[in-house]
Structures are given as C-alpha cells and as structure tokens.
Structure 1
C-alpha cells in the first residue's frame, strides 16, 4: 500500500512539473484584498524558484507573447454591508409588541432598539404582489403582480410574470459580488410553472438567488411542508418527530451563513428571510401555544382597546389618533356564546403562539449574525407582515383553511370544538375568526386584501445598521412603501441600479430610498415618497402629500362570491392624514373638489403602472385559463412511478366528469397508492388495501366518500376503472361514481358535493406512491408505496361544468375581446 501511495505521489509530482514546464513567460495580475486588479508584473519563467518536493520542476520552455491572466473578481464597493431582509406574513400593524400589540416580539424589539421604527410604511394588501414589489423596487402591477399568481390573468399588470426588464435585488446584488440566498416563502413563481421541467427563470434560481430553501406558493403545512431546495422537492420531516418548518428554516439559514463565513469571510452576503408565519395554517409548536393560554379571554374588542393604548404609549401612532369604530358586520365579543368565546380565544392563542414562535426563530438568525462578528456590518430590515392580518378564516374560523378557500364559510362551532385541544397541531390546518383579524390591525379599519384602507396595507418596520443609524431607538413618521426597500439597499451598498441586465434595458426603480431618514438630523424631514397609488381587486387608494383618497369596500373579503357593483360605481372617501392617521374622518362630502383632484391623480398613476383594466371578479378569475403544460388537455397517460407533480400541471377534476383507468400487474395482497391528488386536507385517490381496490374522495375533511371492492385482486394483470359523472352545471356539485374491475362493476355510490375552486395546493399529484400526507388515515398511513407495477394510468376529463352555458359564452366573448 505504501509503495502504491509513493508511486502515486511521484506521478502527481511529475504531472505538475510537466504542466509547469509548458508555462511561458507570463503576466500575473495581482488582486488586492477586495479583488480589485492592481499592478501587472512580468516574471521570466526560468526565474521562478523551484517548488519544494514533492512538487519539483521548473518552467523550462516559454512561448513568446503568452501571458497568464485571471479575470478580476467582482466585488461590491468598499464598505458595502451584508443585508438581512426579513418579512413575516399576514401580520397587521397591531400584532407585534414592538408596535403596541399584545404578542411579544423580542427579535423585532432588538432591531428597533438598535435602529429605527417606521410608523407609515405600507404594503400592497396581498401576499405575492407585496413580495414582487419588495424584490424588484417596482409597483406590483408594473412587475406583473396586480394580484396573487393563483388569480392571474393575461393582462400585462396581472400575468404574475416578473419580466427580464425588472431585475430583482437578488440579481443586482449577485452581479455586484454578493452571495445571495432566499429562505421561506416564495409566491412569486407562477403556479403553472412549478413543474420539474421548468422553465426556471421565474424560480428564485432564475431571479438572481444562488440558494433557495422554502415553499413556492402562498402557504404550506408547517409539519409536512411542500418544500424545495433550489429546484428539487425535499422531505426533511421524515423520521424527525416534532419537526416544524419554522425552526428548520432558521437552522438552514444559520448553516448557510456559517458556510459563507468559513468559505469567504470577507465577502458580503444578502439573505432574504421570509417565514410562513403567520399565514394560515397557524401551526406553532405546542410550547408556544401554551405560553398564551388564557391570554385572549378578554375578547377582541377589549384587546383592541389595549393595543390602542399601548400604541399611544410607545409613540407609534400620533397622540391625536382616533380608534376607528368597530364594524356592524362583525359581532362584538359580549354577544357571543360561551362556546364561541372559548373556541375563538383558542384560535387567538394559537395565532399569537405562531407569531411569537416566528419572531423567536428570526431572533436565532439575527443572533447568528452577531456570533459571526458581522452584526456591525449588517443592514437588517425587518418588515412585520406583507399585508394586514388575514380575514380568510371566515367569521367563525376553521380547523381546515381549505374549506374557506372553497367557499364553505360556516363550519359549526360544535364541529370545530372537536379540534379544540388539537388546534395548531398536525391534525389541523387552522385559521381564526375575522374579529381577531380586524382587532390585530388596530387602529385601522379593514384587513388583508383591502388596499383602500391601512388595515390592509400598514406594516410595522424596523431597520438597524450600526454606525450608520445613530438615533438608536428612534421613530420615523415619513410615508414609505414596500417599493422603497430596493433603492434603500442600493444606496446603502453604493451600487447603482443597472441600465442593462443580460442586454435587456431595465425599467427604472419606482421606489424612493429611505436612507435619508437614517440621519438623526432628518428625523422630521418631509417624506420623499410623495405619491403612491394602491389597488387590489378594484379596491383603490391614492396618497399624495399627506392626503389620501380611497374607495369604500362593498363588503368584507371573507364573504366570497357576493354580488359586487362595477368598479366605477364604488363610493370614494377622502382623508387628511396629517391630522387623521387612522382614516377616521371622511372629508369627501365637505371637499368634493379635493376628492376629484385625488381621483384624477389615481387615474393618472393607474394608467402609468398597468393597473387597468380593473377586475373585481373572484370565482371567475380563479378558473381563468392559464398557460400550464396541461392547459387544454383532456387525456393524461402515465406509466411507472411519477410522484410530486404540482396541482397546476395535474389533471383537474374540479367541476367535471372524469374517468380513471389503471392497468396494473400485482402480486397477492398488493398494497399501496396507484394515484392520488391531495391528502389529509382534501383530494382524491385510487389505491389497494390488501389487494382490494378503493377509490376515495376526501371532501376537505368534512366527509370521506369511498368506493371499494369487497374482494382482493388475484395475482397478475388487472384493469381498474373509476368513472364519475358530475351533476353540473354549477359549483361544488355532487355526482355518481362507479368502480369496476376487469369490466365488472364492484361498487357504486353518490357524492353529495365536491371541492369548489381549489385543490389543496401544497399537495401534489402522485402516481405509484403518496408523498406528503395520506388521503384517508382510516385506510392507510405513509409510506404507502404501490407494491405492484403500473403498466398504464389513463385519466380522461369531461368538459368543465362549473359555469352555465351563458356564463361560458360570456367568458369566451371576453377572451376574444381581450385578444
């Protein structure tokens, strides 16, 4: 063995010597500590000292004119800081203790106390539009995100495509020498592009981020997340009892930063950290739920008064701010039954636990920055929520948010109480009642989705940058918007916005840097962001020089598919924000000329930024055709095992008849999933239980429909067919199903209803296995791989029956007009 190693060493030394002997006289470009090229020195090859053994040998021959040259390493300007950009989810202005809320947020306190708190920072009112604006520095319609990708349409401001002319802050910083990473929520990749076949230009890896670890859509189960590492689906919870994504994500970010420090200690980094908390499902660990036991028994009205008093005490609202009135459309706490109070208080305990847990894990990431000795050289931006607190849990809450997404808005209190002790655990996918959502947006009116009022758009913000922000613990009251973050980062790093990226001319950054507010001398400086429009699902607002005009929402976003007036018929309001921080005193009737002036300004900004046409459809927009790889297909064929296909690229059973045919070859007592789309929270599946064929339909946990053969299959080849006839046209209709084996009917049955709009989006379409959660825990638990062979799986879809013939005709006419 020693002799072999010795020979290998001699051989290696000889190869190196040979390589060196071929080197010419060369010019060596010396790189300084920041990677900038310095003087060029010409060194004769024969003058190089011979390396010590075992590498011996010298350059013996030269080729005149040949030079060694290395491209200079791209680095940021001298002194450019690391960037830690944090954004939580679905948290209004009154959630965090840092801004007067009743949920302690010590990590946010840490940043605020070491830097500045901002009291007039605004979002777009909805998740992915805010996130697109955050990473591009451009208005959400300007960047194609006038609405979430799941409701995208083909209009320029609404296609959910970030174009090459809108390079993200990740791309800009990467091109200037930063290591770039993204952890947590994405929601800026069109859902019709989640396929493993790509394209990947709209994934984080295609938007300038070296590393991504997180989930692609608007939400995911924190216990069994639909998770990706770069472009590959991963399953980190397997064999890890007690796993929760909120902690896992912090662990990943900490490990990533440690690796950067070890590999390139002098190179700056950009970490975009976007946890799922507190978007539904509210799923903290039990220890965090327990911390809030009994803390919300006072109810939402009393909590709102408490938050309002805290905010005045902290100075995060002006002293003359009025608490806006409680709406008549929401019940007051003292009108509720004992069971309602008990259930609703539990919902808030879990939500608060999730908010505190999320902040705690953010605190671990911030502490890692300090532990690496990088805190003094890191700009930390911590945004509390991407919109107001979510009202999507309905007036009474739900143990399964997918029921609300599909228009089931009144789960009985008695049925919900069965989950009281399990609320927030892996046995629930929960959301809370709207009363809490409104209260957590104190002192404002309205909630998430409502862009016309600050209850939907006002976010807490804290920024720290040691040595640059010296008014530590200060408060800033300048008006700002999420599009201002990119220009702030660029000014702090000394990097100019590019005019070209990959040869594509860039649109101007539309935000305004907030760096002018860092100086204590500018604490009370006039805002530099003087005009900003707002729009979401036809609710509109326009800010200009301290004035604000906005439409009145026709009804709450928790009421799905209620009739809406035309956008042009919405009522308008007018506020002087210099004297009325909370939009409490409407001046529209007193100042009609000022209102007209502001409306005209909104029209001007809307035309400028691709806001038009206004679209307040909900259901019709949800079923808008999109350009997925399966668009228009009615027949699908698969062979073998094919797991992990995203719902947007899978056969869509919603609102139509369908036939599933499986040609299989099985041993005796074969088991396992042949095909499934969905899991614990809803969906369908075809599987074998000890050789017996079963087709199951999980109606969003409200009911399990099941067709099963009484007899097991014999070993060998068989054909299983499930044929379903939908009772349309119409939404969420039932139907009749027939299960056949080798041409013989083995089970028939009726289904009372079906999923209305959305399959469970953080599940996948799987063939030959079931990847994430089981469809029916009474039948099987995971893993449940198919033990036979799938020769062919064929799915045939009938035409959509969600809409009537007249509705389909109207949609077709609208599509032709669009073309």
Structure 2
C-alpha cells in the first residue's frame, strides 16, 4: 500500500474511533491528484494542510507532484437556502392564517413542514445574530440593535471570534457562502469605508455580500453595497427597486456557481428588507390590495383567528387575546378620515409583503430550474420579530420622525402624503392597530420580548429528498438559535472546537432535525428552556411554563423614559402553555411558588448568557458614545470629495453647538453644488451653493425645512464660507439623569461669507435623536436623496474646488447648578413613581 494512502486510512480510522459527531476525514479520488477532494472532521477551522505526499528530488524529472485535496462537504450534505424576512407578525402571511397571499411561503410549507411555536428575540439585530451563530443574542453581544449598543459584553454589538457563524463554518467545510439583503450585525461604528471589515458579512464567513449594512433602508434609493463597495444602481432608473434587484442578483450568483462548478454546495442567506419600514412597493402591487382591508383591524383579527384554526396552526381551543382598548381605538370609533388614511397604509404594507414573497418565490424557482430543489434544505422564517409598532397609533409617513418622537397628524398625512404612500417620497409605517392585528392571536408587538406577539414567527422548512410529510405541522417549541445546529446536523458537519486558533463557545441551540421524520411529529420539544429579554421586557420558558414581565411602556413611545428600576418596576405574569396556547390566562396569583422558581431561572439564564445589566432605556442608548472613529473628537478636517461616511462614523451635530467652515475656490462662471451634507429627504442638513448663492438647510424630518441663504452669488475665486450654530440646550449631558430635556432644543444659526454675516435666524426646534440612518455624510457630492428636493437633485457635485472643510463641535457641559437641579428632579420622579 502506498504510504500516503495508508496515512489517509489511518486518519479516517482515528476520527471514527474518536466518536465525533461529524463524518471522519476522508479523501476521494486519487490522493495528490488535481481532482482529489477532502472531507474534514471540522473540529479545527481552517483545517490544517495535509503533509506533502509526493516526491521531491533534485530535479523535477525524478520528482512526483502532489496537490492538496479541495475541501468539500460530506457526501450527503444538502444545499441550504436560509430565508428570513423582516418585521412580520405570525398572523400576516397566508401560510399562517393571514389574508395577505404569500405563495412562496405556502410552497415551502406545502412541500415540507409548518412550525407553529418557533421564536425570535423580538428585535432585528438580536434575532439575526442568534440566527447566524446558534447562540443567544446577549451571548454574542446583541442584546439590542447595533445602533443602540453599550459598553457591556452582552450589548456591545460585537460577535467575537469565539462565536464563528454558520457562514464561516460551512465555508471552511467547502460550501460556497453568500448573503443577500439586510446585515444589521456589523457594529454601526465599524460600517465606514475605513473598516475594519472583520464583522461585515465577508468577514463573518460569507464570500459574497449584496445588501445593506444597517437596520433598514429605502427600497428605491438604498444604501447598497456589493462586498464593501457602495453601489448606486438606482441613479437614472426611477423604477428600480431593491426587492427585485436583490432577487436578480441572488439568482445570477447561484446560476454562476452552478455553471462554474455544478458539484459545489451552496449556502445562501437571503434577507430582504420587507416588511420593515419603509414599506416600499411598486404601484401595480399596491393596486392589488385596494379595498381589501375596509373591514378594519378588529374584524381582520377575527378573520385571521378563524383562518388559523381552520389551517390547524393554532389549536381548536386556542383563545383570541383581548383587544387593548386602553392603548388602541376600536375601528368603529374612528373618523372617516382616519379610516381612509389607515386603510391606505395597510394596503401598501400588504403589497410590500406580497411583493417580497413573490421575489423570494423567484429565488426558490431558480433553485428548481437548476435541478437542485430536491436536495436543497430551504428554511423560510417569516419575520425576525413580530409586526412592528414603530409607526405610532396614527402611522407615519416618515419613520425617522417617529424615532425622534414627532407624530404627524392625520390631516397632514392625508394632505401631503396619501397619494405618494409607498413611493420614494415616503419612509412610511402603518398604524399600530394593523400591527396588533398581524400578530393575531397574540398580545403585543416587535420590541416586546415578554409576549409572543413580539417573538412568535411562522416558519416553514422543506427538503424534498428527506422530508416526506408534505404539509405537516410541527408544534414543538423552538427558537432561532436552533437553526445553526439544525443545518450542521443535516450537513453532517460538527461545530468546530477552535477557529483561527480560538476556542469556540458551545452552540446553545438544539437541532430541530428530529422533527423532519413524521414518526416524531408529536415528540416533545427538545428545546426545554429559553430566556427572552429586550429593552427590559423579559420572559422565561421552561418545559411548557412561561413567566414574563408586563410591559410598562408601549413600544411606539420611542422617546419614553421608563422607570429605571428594571428589577422591581415590572409586574410578572405566569402561563401554563400546555393549557393556554396564546398566553391569555395569567395564573401567577394561583401559583406563587412556581412564579418564584421561574423568576429565579430567568436570573440564572441571564447570568449565564451576559444579559446583565438589565436596561430598559431606548433613546438614551441611541445617542450613547461608542468607540467609532469619531469618539473623543470635536474637530474634523476634509478636502476635496469624500462620500459614503455612515452615521456611526460621522461627526454628529445633534444636541450641540458647531461651526462648519468651507474654504472653496469658485470657478469662472460661478459655482454650484454640495459642500457637505448629512442625511437626506427624511431628516438631515445640507451646506451648498445654489446658483452661486450659499445655502444651509436643516430638514426637520421632512415636515419643515429651515433655510439660511445669502442674497448674492459668490464671485469667482477663493472664499471662506461658515455656518455657525449656537445650541440652547444641555444636550446629551442630561441623559445621565434619565432626563431627555437636553435634546431637541432651539438654537441660532449664522451664515457668513468671508467673515461677513449674510443670514441669521433662530431655529425653534432641532432634531433630538437621529438623522435618516440609511443616508451618509458626504463632502463635495450627495448620495442617496437630497435634503431639499426643491433645491437640487443628487449627486449635485460641487463645480468648484473644496480646499478644506472643517467641522468643529462644542457639546454642552453641565454646571454644578445644572447637576444639582437634575439630581433634585430625578429624586422627585422616583418619589412620585
């Protein structure tokens, strides 16, 4: 026997004898030949190269070449298409009783299995971090969205190297890995072109990325990347839409893989923006739903509830949770104008969901067209959390306004936005009444981790080669952390012990592959215990029992400052889910000892998975300092043109005084164009020349624009333009006292040309929390959307030269008197609570 062949056999025997969960290392083909492949045991990633098996003499004629075998997955490993949509309640898609048709999700459910007790974390980033790591969200730094990260291990939005993603594991085991659509697992302070890129999709084990990095984006003018390079395919193409373009790109990518190497297994993570706000759908899709929701949200709930029982996705004895009359109006009590507006909002939402599912269907069909559907594991998770309530009870034409606690009256929405709802002129979100209805039969919504309205997601799985119980229903309790171990089990790949020399945290999920067999359809769930926590709302599941807190502030009040005594301010509830499917009958009073046991179990899990310290703040976390490239800086200097700096790595002018100075050279014939801008159509500021005249514009969430303009055009030659703003409030400093009064205050702006004042006025209010997050800080040109459509259209590049542009920020500081006053107010608030 050739000595190398003997070595390979010995290697395989050793792996088998060790009793590992994965397939032993094996070589296929002639060892050392270009066609040889290798299946690894997967304990150590990347795998070490095998010893050279050829012969080396003094010259090539007496030597024998030898090639490292290519790493390939185990023989029976399937392709994997992992689909997760956004902000979709359990009762929205037709597959789980909704009235919005989702034929692609129906297709997967009818050819495979429906899961009725599958859970998210109740929020975007956390669910997605858990999905790709197989570990609890706090355990990998995502106790909240990345834009609200804080300096604690469970909340810093950093997936550490000890928690390799499913992309990294599969890539090193020979899969082609790709990620399309929403990221939201890159720290917001690492999203600039300066990197680092280790926590972008391509740094997390995904070889190809086409999508957006943040939590949401316009589908008409998205902040879009291929790999780490921004791209702008929508420029000059007004009908372009990311929902379709993303499907096109995924199909083209899979087609390329199939034609270049038909034997290559693929792992595709497909994460469209739908149906997170803004709800953007083409007009022809919106037209399909005209009049479909005239019955109102109360009757819609009843209809969905009846459909769910008919489908068998809830038990016959399940109870519909009561409508929250103390929070939301009954449909029949609304005015005709309110009904007109709200039905328009939901028609657009329904169009967006149906449109998103349609494009997903094209991706699934592409897999079939390649002849690979039979051996592809398709996991389709409907929503990364429950339906979103971030639109307030009246909805909003601009979600950025809502995050700044600005509510747009119904009459204003009807007058200015009704006819363009769902177009690029809106960043729209529907009224909360619809949100609650789409979470039928459960209570509460996205952000509320304590109740199933926030966490229970419809999921369907198909794998025609293996799953034969077509259209089967599975009622086992499972969680998003169970997807990674499921994929690893069906692929015959074990979770690695070390990656890049770093010992790995154990996978915390439980594979649900046991449910694929019809014989196990009614087997008890193997996922016995699961904690939940987001923004202070928390719950704990244990073998059929569920204990949870009662929310003390509705999630649509994004600027609220709830009682900071997170441990004691919340009432607890208790449910026996074996008798109460919908978490409707609180039995805490009758079972005090059981409740105490469950509360203690929650704290045990919280300590184990980095949930502490508990924190129920939201707005304060959005503006907390982070270790970005701007941290600790108050002076920024630029020259020439530089675009695409994301909000997390750009200087922030919110709640501060500042001075922006541009040293420019105006060409003969006059100058025009952007000097600097941040944000866009739905909130931001711009400093530019219009027909030669200097202009500074603040766009206050698309409801008001405050404008400073010089009356004279600049002459050709060198000029110094300055915009100086003096803020009247105490800024972020008051947040240390759980006080929001320092935000959104007035200030006075002064525009100067060569030291001479050309415009000055007071701005009565300022943006308190956040600018349009899917836009960037640009110098010399504008990407995305303009801050004022009446003045210019992008890119509006500056026709002269920017020699130097500086941004100097002066953040307010508290005096001893300020601190004394705020401390006294804090004491009074605690006394009143």
Question: What TM-score, normalized to structure 2?
Answer: 0.90
- The superposition leaves residues 145-181 of structure 1 with CA deviations (integer Å, 9 ceiling, x where unpaired) of 0011111101110000000000000000001000000
Which SS does the other structure have where 2:71 is aligned?
coil
Tell me, in whole angstroms, the C-alpha distance in 2 between the residues paired with 1:30 and 1:724.
70
* Contact 2:685 2:787 (C-alpha < 8 Å) held by counterparts: yes
Equivalences for residues 172-321 of structure 1 within 5 A: 172-321=169-318
Q: Secondary structure at the match of 1:459?
A: strand
CA 802–415 in structure 1, closer or farther in 2 if over 3 Å, else same = farther
Counterpart-to-counterpart distance in 2, 1:572 and 1:185 = 35
Measure how far apart 1:487 and its partner are: 0.2
Report matched runs for 1:750-769 at 5 Å.
750-769=762-781
CA–CA separation in structure 1 for the residues paired with 2:37 and 2:259: 17
Q: Partners of 1:518 and 1:414 in 2: how far apart?
A: 52
Q: Conserved in 2, the CA contact under 8 Å of 1:728 and 1:801?
A: no
Describe the SS at the equivalent of 1:437.
helix
Q: How does 1:574-593 map to 2 (within 5 A)?
A: 574-593=574-593
Distance (whole Å) between structure 1 residues aligned to residue 179 and residue 773 of structure 2: 21
Taking a change above 3 Å as real, the CA distance of residues 95 and 694 of structure 1, as seen in their structure-2 partners, is: same
* Number of corresponding residues: 770
Residues in 2 aligned to 1:721 and 1:532: alpha-carbon distance in whole angstroms: 56
Question: Are the equivalent residues in 2 in contact too, given 1:720–1:739 (CA < 8 A)?
Answer: yes
Give 1:510-525 correspondences, 5 Å limit.
Answer: 510-525=508-523
Aligned-pair CA distance for 1:802: 10
Question: Match of 2:622?
Answer: 622
- Per-residue CA deviations over 1:348-383 (Å, capped at 9, x if unaligned) read 000000000000000000000000000011000000
Residue 806 of structure 1 is matched in structure 2 by: 819
Structure 1, residues 724-752: CA drift from partner, whole Å, max 9, x if none?
A: 11111221112111111111111111112
Q: Distance in 1 between matches of 2:761 and 2:143?
A: 43
Partner residue, 1:409? 407
Query: Whole-Å Cα distance in 2 between the matches of residues 148 and 413 of structure 1?
Result: 33
Q: Of the candidates 731, 734, 742, which is equivalent to residue 743 of structure 2?
A: 731
* Residues 666/759 of structure 1: CA separation in 2 closer, same or farther (3 Å cut): same
* Correspondence for 2:806 among 778, 782, 794: 794
Q: Secondary structure at the match of 1:568?
A: coil
Distance in 2 between the 1:807 and 1:416 partners?
46
Over 3 Å counting, the alpha-carbon distance change for 1:36 and 1:332 in structure 2 is closer
Distance 1:306 1:800, change over 3 A: farther
Match of 2:538 among 519, 540, 545: 540
Q: Any idea what the Cα deviations from partners look like across 1:477-521, whole Å, max 9, x if unmatched?
A: 000000000000000100000000000000000000000000000
- Render the CA deviation track for 1:410-458: whole Å, top value 9, x for unaligned: 4343444421111001111100111110110000000000000000000
Q: Answer yes or no: is the 8 Å Cα contact 2:725–2:748 preserved in 1.
A: yes
Distance change >3 Å, CA 802–CA 431, structure 1 → 2: farther
* Shift, 1:201, TM fit: 0.7
**Partners of 2:338 and 2:410 within 8 A in 1:** no
Q: Following the alignment from structure 1 to structure 2, what is the Cα–Cα distance between the partners of residues 807 and 123?
A: 43
Aligned residue among 548, 553, 563 for 1:555: 553
Q: Counterparts of 1:412 and 1:802 in 2: how far apart (Å)?
A: 39
- Equivalent residue for 2:149, pick from 139, 152, 170: 152
Structure 2 residue 392 is matched with structure 1 residue 394: yes
CA contact 2:33–2:67 (8 Å) conserved in 1: no
> In the alignment, what sits opposite 1:748?
760
CA deviation string 1:29-76 (max 9, x = no partner): 23657557999998999xxxxxxxxxxxxxxx9457633111110000
1:560 deviation in Å?
Answer: 2.9
Three-state SS of the structure 1 residue aligned to 2:645 is strand
Between 336-345 and 610-619, the greater mean CA deviation after superposition: 610-619
- Superposed CA deviations along residues 634-689 of structure 1, whole A, max 9, x for unmatched, are 11111111111111111110001111111100123211001100111111111011
Give me the whole-angstrom Cα distance separating, in 2, the residues matched to 1:186 and 1:722.
Answer: 36
Larger-Rg structure: 1
Q: Secondary structure at the match of 1:450?
A: coil
What secondary structure is seen at the aligned counterpart in 2 of 1:257? Answer: helix
Gaps in structure 1 of 5+ consecutive residues: 1-26, 46-60, 814-819
Give runs of aligned pairs for residues 156-175 of structure 1, distance below 5 A: 156-175=153-172
Contact 2:186 2:213 in 1 (8 A): yes
- Once the two structures are overlaid, the 10-residue window that deviates more, 393-402 or 128-137, is 393-402
Counterpart residue number, 2:831: none
Q: 1:68 aligns to what?
A: 65
The alignment partner of 1:156 has SS state of coil
Contact 1:671 1:690 in 2 (8 A): yes
1:136–1:809: structure 2 CA closer, same or farther, 3 Å change rule?
farther
User: Is the 1:444–1:454 contact (alpha carbons within 8 Å) kept by the matching residues of 2?
Assistant: yes
Structure 2 distance, partners of 1:782, 1:549, is: 52
CA distance, structure 1, for counterparts of residue 303 and residue 812 of structure 2: 51
Report if aligned partners of 2:404, 2:559 keep a CA contact under 8 Å in 1: no
Residues 656 and 802 of structure 1 are in contact (CA less than 8 Å); yes or no, is this contact kept in structure 2?
A: no
Structure 1 equivalent of residue 27 of structure 2: none
Rounded to whole Å, the distance in 2 between the matches of 1:665 and 1:774 is: 23
CA offsets per residue over residues 239-294 of structure 1, 9 Å max, x none? Answer: 22300000000000000000000111001000000000000000011111111000
Could you tell me how far apart the structure 2 residues matched to 1:36 and 1:772 are?
Answer: 46
Aligned residue for 2:9? none
Offset, 1:805: 4.2
Structure-to-structure mapping, 1:386-785, within 5 angstroms: 386-565=384-563, 566-569=565-568, 570-667=570-667, 668-729=669-730, 730-785=742-797
Please say which of residues 763-772 and 794-803 is displaced more in the overlay. 794-803
For 2:93, which of 81, 93, 96 is the aligned residue? 96
1:29 is the counterpart of 2:18 = no
- 1:142 is paired with a residue whose SS is helix
Secondary structure of the residue aligned to 1:199 is: coil
Inter-CA distance 110–800: structure 2 relative to 1 (3 Å threshold): farther
Sort the Cα spacing of 1:152 and 1:807 in 2 relative to 1 into closer, same or farther, 3 A.
Answer: farther
- 1:349 and 2:352 are equivalent in the alignment: no
Identify unmatched segments of 5+ residues in structure 2. 1-29, 41-49, 731-741, 827-833
Q: What is the CA–CA distance in structure 2 between the aligned matches of 1:561 and 1:375, rounded to whole Å?
A: 47
Range that drifts further, 409-418 or 796-805: 796-805
Q: Kindly indicate whether the alpha-carbon contact (under 8 Å) linking 2:55 and 2:63 is maintained by their aligned counterparts in 1.
A: no
Output the CA distance in 1 between the equivalents of 2:210 and 2:814.
36
- DSSP-derived class of the 1:674 partner: strand
| Alignment counterpart, residue 131 of structure 1, candidates 107, 117, 128 | 128
The residue aligned with 1:22 is: none
For residues 422 and 620 of structure 1, the distance between their equivalents in structure 2, rounded to whole angstroms, comes to 33
Do the aligned residues in 2 keep the contact of 1:28 with 1:40 (CA within 8 Å)?
Answer: no
Structure 1 runs of 4+ with >2 Å offset = 30-45, 61-67, 409-418, 560-565, 800-810
Relative distance call for 1:377 and 1:495 in structure 2 (3 A) is same
- Separation in 2, partners of 1:206, 1:580: 44
Aligned to 2:739: none
Structure 1 residue 466: Cα displacement? 0.8
Check 1:800–1:84 CA distance in 2 against 1; reply closer, same or farther (3 A cut).
farther
3-state SS of the aligned residue for 2:726?
strand
> Contact between 2:449 and 2:537, CA under 8 Å: does it hold in 1?
yes
